[in-house]
Structures are given as C-alpha cells and as structure tokens.
Structure 1
C-alpha cells in the first residue's frame, strides 16, 4: 500500500512540474508561395464551381440600361457627370426608405471623389458596371447635422478643390479666390440652428477621406442599403443614362 502511495505521489509531482513549465516561441519561419500558371488546376473543383461561375457571370453581364456617353470622374473640375449621377441616385433610392422609417427627408447626399473606381462606358450598362464603379461594400448612412456643421462641409469641399459628388439639393457658388458666395440647401440659405439630414457612406461617416464633420452629430441612421445596390436598383428602372455636368457647384468668372 505504501508503495502505491509513493507511485501516486511521484505522478502528481511530475504532473505539477509539467503544468508549471512555460513554453516560449523562439523562432517563426515562413515562405512565400507564388500563385501563378505553374499551379495546376483541379478538374474536380473546376467542375464543381463551373455552374456557379456561369450563373454569376450571366447575372453580372445582364443589361440593365444604356449609357449615351462615356463618363469619368476626371471630366469636370467642380462636379462631374458620373459623380452627379451617383449622388442623385443615392438620394432617389434612399430617401423613400429614410422617410418611411423616420418621417424626415434627406436634405442632400455627399460622397467622395475617390469612391468612384471606374468609368461608365458608352453602351450597355450592366450589374458588372455597378460593381466596377463601386466595388466596395459601402452602405448608406443618414446623419443629422446642425446647419453650423454644414458650413464645415462647404469649407471642406472648397479646400479640397476636387469634384466630390453631392446631390442637386445642394448648390454651391464660389468666387475666383475660392470664397463661398452662395450656399443653398433645397433653394434656401443654411439655417445654423436647423438639423439637416445628410446621406453618405459608412466609410465617410467614420471620418474617411478626412471628413471629420460627421462626428459628433444629431443622430445617425444606417439604412442597411449598399451604394452599389442603389446603383443597380436605379439602373433597372431607367432605359437610358445621360448624366451631365451642371451648376450645382460653380465658380464665378
């Protein structure tokens, strides 16, 4: 019996000594494996994914509308046809959703120049077009801002000297020295004490592209609606896409 107790005691001591032992990482090694034509395809995997690939390709290439011209984010100094199109589409598609949920209307939409990732080419417009223009998973957020912060938006737009897209509900006129001459929201000068509802992307809401003016705010309302999906939904509704550079942002001579 004493011998058995001794064996148990020795086992416990070994267990405790192992438990207290600390292991430290001394070295980590790795190597880069290039993915190129030398890697053979797997016929079984290719056969399995083929119907899914064909279905996705067919959906991406389905024609939704027709563009009468080619539109690029570099075709205008203060506003561009493609930027105007995107901002106006976001307003048109998201305002009914926001109104139904809150009883308020969106006052205007603000996006960013860098968010436009491709041109829209003359000819057929497809789902693939929307994915090319907006490949990111950015969703629409409506942000409540006091009129005093709308002035911060205006200052940002003027200082950036880029054609950041905003919808036609906002009108901005500057002089040759880049001073604001007139700023109108829905045809009316800014009221500093009023709360305005601005639709933007979740990326910009989180202060992307230096747009810090969305924080703090009077409330944020995520719509769970991707900008790309808004584009697709709008393309399905129209026969022809014909955006133009207009007078929503102009500079006096």
Structure 2
C-alpha cells in the first residue's frame, strides 16, 4: 500500500514539474519606422501589384464629362458654382433612391464647404478628379427634421458665413448676417412640418459642429457615397456648367 502511494506521488510530481507555465505579457516596446523615399522597393511586390495598379490608373484617367469652366470653392462668398453643383447632384442622384424606398422626397441638401477638397478643371473631367474633389468615404444619409430644427440650421449657416453647399433651400441675410428670408422649395418653413434633409454621415455625426441634426424623427442611410453619386451623374451627362446663383446671398442696403 505504501509502495502504491509512493508511485502515485512520484507520478504526480513528474506531471506537475513538466507542466508549462502560461506566458504573460510583461513589457511592450515600440519603435518608429519612417516610410521615406530612401526605402528601396521590393521588386517582387512591385511586379505582383503592377497589373492591378495599371488597371486602377486606367480607370482613374478615363474621361466621364466635360467642364465649361474652372471651378473652385473660393469663387464665391456664400455660394459657389462647385458647391452648388455638388449639392444639386446629391439631390439628383439620391432622391430617386430615397423615394423608391420610402415613397417620400428629399426636401433639401446640405453639405460642408470644408468637404470640398479640390477643384474641377476646365475641359475633360476624369474619375481621378472626383477622387481628388471628394477623397473621403462619406455616405449620403437623409435625416427627418422638424421645421424648428431647420430654423437652427439656418441660424448656423448665417453665423458660419461660409459657402456650405445647399440645394432646394434659398436663404437671404441682411448686412449684419441675420436671416431675413428662408424658403424650402418656394415655401416658407413651418415649425411642425417634417422635412427630409440629405447630408453626409460625417455632418450627421456633428461634423463641423452641425449639432442640429439631433434629435431627429428618423434617419435613412442610403448606403451611397457622395463621390459615387458625383461619378454616376457625370457619366450620364455630357457637359457641366454650374454657376453661382441666389440660393444663399447677403442683401446689403
């Protein structure tokens, strides 16, 4: 009996002594690896990606429309041709999608001046130009807002004093930048009416401090990127010639 107990104890000690201790993280070290032109390219990687790179470059350089003039976001004070173009295109492309899903129409579009990251050159417009103009992956969302929140939006626009792109909204300010007239689709804004505003998911999430999108009645994510909307529109038209107009102006005495 004592011998059996001794054998059992000996086997137990052998098993315990052979058991591996679990690894534990005790220290984390990091170093900065700078990516510069001095790093030699890997020829095997270069050869592997070259066909894909050439295909992408060919697509980016394909012509999709023609611009009558050169367009920049610095061309106007409260509205610009390029901003008007972008807002109008978002309405043109997004409203059929929204209407098909909900049976309702978009009432207005609001984008942001800072989101315009490049220009549209005079002459041929290439897909590459749209990636430069809108390099972000921002998607179009439609937010249901009451008229009271539209009033907050109007106050924001008047205080910002920037050419934030809008469509279907007409806004006039006095010489002190106070709102004196605001119309949506030719009608005065009613405080208890629900309006459907198309914007970007970035702005909906308080981008550019646009906090008037919350709270809201409802949110519709169209899963449609602004850049793709621009490209789709340009592919179906031959020529664009947007202009600065009276959708957002300051009236001076």
Sort the TM-score into its range (normalised by shorter chain).
Answer: over 0.9
Residue number in structure 2 paired with 1:9:
12
Task: Render the CA deviation track for 1:35-65: whole Å, top value 9, x for unaligned.
Answer: 2233222222212111111110000010001
**Which is further off, 215-224 or 5-14?**
5-14
Q: Paired residue for 2:75?
A: 75
Q: Which residue of 1 aligns with 2:128?
A: 128
* Aligned equivalents of 1:88, 1:112: Cα separation in 2: 13
Tell me the TM-score normalized by structure 2: 0.93
Report matched runs for 1:233-244 at 5 Å. Answer: 233-244=232-243
Q: Distance in 2 between matches of 1:23 and 1:45?
A: 36
- CA distance in 1 between partners of 2:57 and 2:20 (Å): 61
Deviation at 1:7?
2.1
**1:13 to partner: Cα distance:** 5.3
Question: d(CA) in 2 for partners of 1:120 and 1:7?
Answer: 83
Question: Which residue does 2:195 correspond to in 1?
Answer: 196
Unpaired runs of at least 5, structure 1: none
**Partner residue in 2 for 1:33:** 33
Unaligned 5+ segments in structure 2 are none
Moved more, 187-196 or 233-242: 233-242
> Post-superposition shift, 1:87?
0.3
Please report how far the alpha carbon of residue 28 of structure 1 lies from its aligned counterpart in structure 2 after TM superposition: 2.8
2-side partners of 1:153 and 1:7: how far apart? 81
How many aligned positions are there? 249
Aligned to 2:227: 228
Quote the offset at 1:180 in angstroms.
1.0
* Structure 1 residue 208 displacement after superposition: 1.1
How does the TM-score come out when normalised to structure 1?
0.93
Bigger shift: residues 211-220 or 5-14? 5-14
C-alpha distance after superposition, 1:70-100 (max 9, x if no partner): 1111111100111100000000000001001
